Structure 1
Amino acid sequence: GFKVAILGAAGGIGQPLAMLVKMNPLVSLLHLYDVVNSPGVTADISHMDTASMVRGFLGEQNLSDALTGMELVIIPAGIPRKPGMTRDDLFNINAGIVKTLSEAIAEFCPKAIVNIISNPVNSTVPIAAEVLKNAGVYDPRRLLGVTKLDVVRANTFLGEVLGLDPRDVYVPVVGGHAGVTILPLLSQAKPPCSLTEEETKVLTYRIQNGGTEVVEAKVGAGSATLSMAYAAAEFADACLRGLRGDAGVVECAFVASQVTELPFFASKVRLGRDGVEEIYPLGPTNEYERMGLEKSKKELSESINKGISFIKK
């Protein structure tokens, strides 16, 4: 089995994610780190009768022990978005958290595959990349922003429209992981479906604003934590299957990329023993998607630069 660490394990995403990862038979050792409440979460999760051992780590002084020897590190740490808060309001706090954690990864488990969930992903992935570069340990194949929730939502929402089980639906989602940067390629959906222009617009809007839908429904009690934990656990499982050497493990993720002129971009990637083994081109797109891509790239470029300049400032 594999050694997995969750950084931010006591948070709204971290707790359900820890539970789901504890259920994964590919995991042999699960490290749960946070700056608050991680001993309690660890005690609770450790009672589950699945194979993996669970150990808890509290506070920055124990970060080195939490990370040493880890093969996959998942980072949901950060503060959640509250109503009326833009993803930018989150930026300075979460950017600082990701910087600190990335510095520790560079020092204590530089060869680990790193899954970044902390928002805004469009900026936090470039932040982690710059920190790892500065430490001389950056391997772009091993750093992935988790955009899987956009795919999960796209599959669910399209399944509803088509009257199909969402497990039988697949929609690639490319671009970034916020608002208009999220670009579902509905023209490439499986099974192939002919949506009207209006249906495409409504679906695209709903997929792009799925996070806001949950924030508003929770009326101040948090953001998308449970569906995010599910998506992150599914993505972590794909990374572990890749590490194991399984063939044909393909997921969408926000990675260092040459698919567009931007330095980072989410698209379909094949996962393997070194993380990202292949990045697939966008494939055929329609006019609506090409327009969406231009909008996505404009905002995405600003978010990426914001992340890079946070470290370079």
Structure 2
Amino acid sequence: MKAVVLGAAGGIGQPLSLLLKSNPLVTELGLYDIVNAPGVAVDLSHIATPAKVEGYLPADDGLKKVLTGADVVVIPAGIPRKPGMTRDDLFKINAGIVRDLATGIATTAPKAFVLVISNPVNSTVPIVAEVFKKHGVFDPKRLFGVCTLDVVRASTFVSEILGDRSLATSIKIPVVGGHSGVTIVPLLSQSTHPIPSSISSSTIDTVINRIQFGGDEIVKAKDGAGSATLSMAFAGAEFVGKVLRAKGGEKGIVAPTFVNLIADAEGGAKLKAELGAEVEYFSAPVELGVEGVYKINGLGTISDSEKKLIQVAVPELITNIEKGVSFVGAPKL
């Protein structure tokens, strides 16, 4: 398996590359960035794991070289959030970066699985899709928005209110919708470790808000020096690992991820009916297979309060998606 990281020298890219170098399923690791990628590659190449590592810069067709033969491409490239900046504020800069990288993938590795981390994911995933459509290579089964950090946060924060951090690795909570603010909808009612009725509704509301806006907590704590990098790298590597396992033939792997609902026409149609809205992309529990998306699962039984959260999320999500689609359709300045 050849995994490629685009933006490998950045705050997410470096720890993500380290974690992928440690994954025994990765036999070749390609790193690309506008600076420092060859140095990161040499550093990682000294680690005693089987994966061969090579790093490339834009010069001398570096993007084409790194993407040649790629099975999985992960995109954490872009600028980080700064204090007071929302994910949507990142749009103008990161959208252009993702568009150009997507063009490289479309022309060099159109069959690769593409995992988008670059924010705002609700808009950048549609950007990649629209670029692929322009090149006639769009396969919705192979395009994923990485929302795993929302799931990781949900498990962590719920373990805290349950008073046992050791549960964080075993608690499973679906998080649906999108990957920014109110579009993030944690389905706490479906937690594998039920939340006792003794825990107040205000505490639960606080946890939901923290899951939705956990990135702001990190931006503030880093005092302008960065955003969620280490936790995002951990979450990203976890999702990449699941994709690699599924691509290798392992069955029954389910992970929430932001996908185009036509990737599974039947499951997508059922989910749209549940949502009561014509939304093109949505983060839902997706069963992964050797071709990518195998099955999109529905919401299941959710509480009235969760239904209200989804009603708030969907209009915002539709706006975010349209922003990404429009960006690719607009003429470049």
Provide TM-score, normalisation by structure 1: 0.98
1:145 aligned partner, one-letter code: G
Matches within 5 A, 1:181-192: 181-192=183-194
The residue aligned with 1:66 is: 66
Secondary structure at the residue paired with 1:254? strand
The residue aligned with 1:231 is: 235
The residue aligned with 2:171 is: 169
1:134 aligned partner, one-letter code: K
Mark the runs of 5 or more structure 1 residues left unpaired by the alignment. none
Q: Distance in 2 between matches of 1:177 and 1:186?
A: 17
Q: Distance in 1 between matches of 2:186 and 2:28?
A: 35
Q: Distance in 1 between matches of 2:108 and 2:169?
A: 38
Matches within 5 A, 1:131-146: 131-146=131-146
The residue aligned with 2:76 is: 76
The residue aligned with 1:55 is: 54
The residue aligned with 1:299 is: 316
What do the CA deviations read for 1:138-187 (whole angstroms, capped 9, x no partner)?
Answer: 00010000000000000000011112320121110000000000000000
Q: Distance in 1 between matches of 2:301 and 2:186?
A: 13
1:146 aligned partner, one-letter code: V
Q: Distance in 1 between matches of 2:14 and 2:170?
A: 28
Q: Distance in 1 between matches of 2:209 and 2:88?
A: 20
Matches within 5 A, 1:224-303: 224-257=228-261, 258=268, 259-260=271-272, 261-303=278-320
User: What's the RMSD between the two structures over aligned residues?
Assistant: 0.9
Q: Distance in 1 between matches of 2:297 and 2:175?
A: 12
Report percent identity of matched pairs: 54
1:47 aligned partner, one-letter code: H
Q: Distance in 2 between matches of 1:226 and 1:272?
A: 28
Matches within 5 A, 1:11-26: 11-26=10-25
Q: Distance in 1 between matches of 2:286 and 2:203?
A: 28
Report the alpha carbon displacement of residue 281 of structure 1 after superposing the two structures with TM. Answer: 0.5
Q: Distance in 2 between matches of 1:30 and 1:298?
A: 39
Report the alpha carbon displacement of residue 57 of structure 1 after superposing the two structures with TM. Answer: 0.7
2:4 aligned partner, one-letter code: A
Q: Distance in 2 between matches of 1:271 and 1:168?
A: 20
Q: Distance in 2 between matches of 1:251 and 1:83?
A: 30
Q: Distance in 2 between matches of 1:50 and 1:269?
A: 30
What do the CA deviations read for 1:252-273 (whole angstroms, capped 9, x no partner)?
Answer: 0000122232100001001111
Report the alpha carbon displacement of residue 225 of structure 1 after superposing the two structures with TM. Answer: 0.0
2:205 pairs, out of 175, 197, 201, with 201
2:292 aligned partner, one-letter code: G
The residue aligned with 1:123 is: 123
Q: Distance in 1 between matches of 2:89 and 2:194?
A: 39
Q: Distance in 2 between matches of 1:278 and 1:192?
A: 26
What do the CA deviations read for 1:67-114 (whole angstroms, capped 9, x no partner)?
Answer: 011000000000011112222221011000110111111111111000
Report the alpha carbon displacement of residue 196 of structure 1 after superposing the two structures with TM. Answer: 3.5
What do the CA deviations read for 1:10-55 (whole angstroms, capped 9, x no partner)?
Answer: 0000000000000000000000001111111111111111110001
Provide TM-score, normalisation by structure 2: 0.92
Secondary structure at the residue paired with 1:125? helix
Does residue 150 (structure 1) correspond to residue 150 (structure 2)? The answer is yes
1:54 aligned partner, one-letter code: V
1:25 aligned partner, one-letter code: P
What do the CA deviations read for 1:191-240 (whole angstroms, capped 9, x no partner)?
Answer: 22235422221110010011000000000110000000000000000000
Aligned length: 312
